[in-house]
């Protein structure tokens, strides 16, 4: 009735517990195998769309990258209010007339809004944003008072 398979750590997992999104993916796959389709969707694909975002910093700037494939440049809105960076956008559903039966629909769409508190002040007039191949890249130069300073401490 049931088959047991050895468990192997998946690529990208660290520590004793996998990342939360792995649980979500495995749960969705379990529901798919059990019910054959998402039981509560009524055929409407309204999954939440939330892009993956990385934020890092070096000595001079904060770097933000967001994976937002399938979105037009004009459908993105990026703003900075104080130390809060907000990325908004909308991934529009494709309405194609299908002549064949669909077996699985996994592409998600919809609007999203992600906000992040930045670790320090930035030079607003020098922010650089680019969007290429579905990846949004932001370079936010740090304000002078936020840059790390190194001083020599004499020993006594």
- Asked if 18 contacts 10 with a C-beta cutoff of 8 angstroms, the reply is yes
Alpha-carbon gap, residue 73 to 87, rounded angstroms: 12
Where does 48-94+109-147 sit in CATH, by number? 2.60.40.790
Annotated domain spans of the chain: 17-44, 48-94+109-147
Lowest-confidence region among 31-40, 49-58, 116-125, 142-151: 31-40
Average pLDDT of span 27-48: 57
* Token pair in block for residue 70: 């399938």
DSSP-based three-state secondary structure for 109: coil
117: phi then psi, degrees, rounded to nearest 5? -80, 125
Is it the case that residue 124 has pLDDT exceeding 60? yes
**Which two three-digit tokens encode residue 100?**
């064949």
- Is the model more confident about 54 or about 39? 54
pLDDT of 19 > 50? The answer is yes
What digits encode the pLDDT tens for the residues 125-141? 999 999 999 999 999 99
8 pLDDT exceeds 70? no
């Amino acid at each position: 009735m049931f088959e047991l398979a050895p468990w192997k750590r998946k690529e990208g997992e660290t520590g004793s517990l996998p990342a939360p999104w792995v649980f979500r993916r495995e749960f969705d796959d379990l529901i798919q195998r059990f019910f054959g389709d998402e039981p509560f969707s009524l055929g409407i694909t309204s999954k939440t769309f939330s892009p993956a975002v990385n934020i890092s910093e070096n000595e001079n700037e904060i770097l933000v990258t967001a994976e937002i494939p399938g979105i037009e440049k004009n459908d993105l809105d990026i703003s900075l209010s104080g130390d809060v960076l907000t990325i908004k956008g909308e991934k529009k559903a494709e309405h194609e007339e299908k002549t064949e039966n669909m077996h699985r629909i996994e592409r998600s769409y919809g609007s999203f809004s992600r906000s992040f508190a930045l670790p320090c002040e930035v030079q607003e007039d020098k922010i650089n944003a680019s969007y290429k191949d579905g990846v949004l890249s932001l370079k936010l130069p740090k304000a002078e008072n936020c840059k790390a300073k190194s001083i020599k401490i004499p020993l006594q």
